[in-house]
């Protein structure tokens, strides 16, 4: 099982996020939870023995890259070392494929299932992505349901957060209008 020893909060263009790490790499990333107190509560549940600390150089570099990506810069985060020890092998295979999706691009659950060798695994792919401990670094927001539907998103804010992250990435890499134009998040289709 991955060992989480420390964590830190960091600001981003989508709100305050958190990162947790251990000796072998990052063990978790948390998206904004509405306020700092709720974010700290989620950290305490996920890693009760971890302490808040100044990030070491590799984690600080990862935070900077995540902040840049969330600010609209197309950043490749595959250099970030993750410690996913203890996660099921199937889930890690799904996350490995997901990490290869470049900013501004998407795959479907079925695309990932096909890469795993069986399109019938689409539901299991969705379940694995719902268990993703490192959103942003494992960009599960870039995975859509069939026919371009958004599918689910288990992070705080749900599908609105997913659409916001996709919009940020596309703004930097695709100057054409988005599918939803200037509709506010609440007015956009959910599925």
Q: Which residues are known to be catalytic?
A: 140
CB 67 within 8 Å of CB 15: no
CB 135 within 8 Å of CB 98: no
**C-alpha to C-alpha distance for 28 and 22, rounded to whole angstroms:** 10
| Bridge partner list, 53 | none
Distances from the Cα of 1 to the Cαs of 35, 111, 175, in angstroms? 29, 29, 43
CB 141 within 8 Å of CB 162: yes
Phi, psi of 56 (to 5 degrees): -65, 170
| Helices of type H across the chain | 36-46, 57-70, 89-99, 109-115, 122-130, 158-173
CB 103 within 8 Å of CB 173: yes
């Amino acid at each position: 099982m991955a060992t989480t020893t420390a964590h830190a909060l960091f600001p981003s263009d989508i709100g305050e996020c958190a990162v947790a790490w251990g000796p072998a790499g990052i063990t978790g990333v948390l998206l904004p939870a509405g306020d700092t107190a709720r974010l700290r509560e989620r950290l305490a549940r996920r890693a009760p023995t971890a302490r808040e600390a100044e990030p070491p150089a590799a984690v600080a570099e990862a935070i900077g890259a995540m902040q840049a990506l969330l600010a609209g810069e197309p950043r490749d985060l595959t250099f970030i070392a993750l410690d996913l020890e203890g996660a099921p092998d199937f889930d890690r295979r799904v996350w490995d494929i997901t990490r290869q999706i470049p900013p501004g691009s998407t795959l479907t659950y079925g695309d990932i299932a096909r890469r795993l060798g069986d399109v019938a695994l689409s539901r299991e792919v969705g379940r694995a992505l719902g268990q993703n401990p490192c959103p942003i670094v494992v960009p599960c927001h870039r995975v859509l349901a069939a026919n371009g539907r958004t599918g689910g998103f288990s992070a705080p804010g749900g599908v609105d957060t997913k659409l916001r992250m996709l919009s940020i990435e596309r703004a930097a890499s695709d100057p054409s209008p988005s599918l939803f134009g200037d509709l506010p998040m609440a007015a956009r289709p959910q599925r």
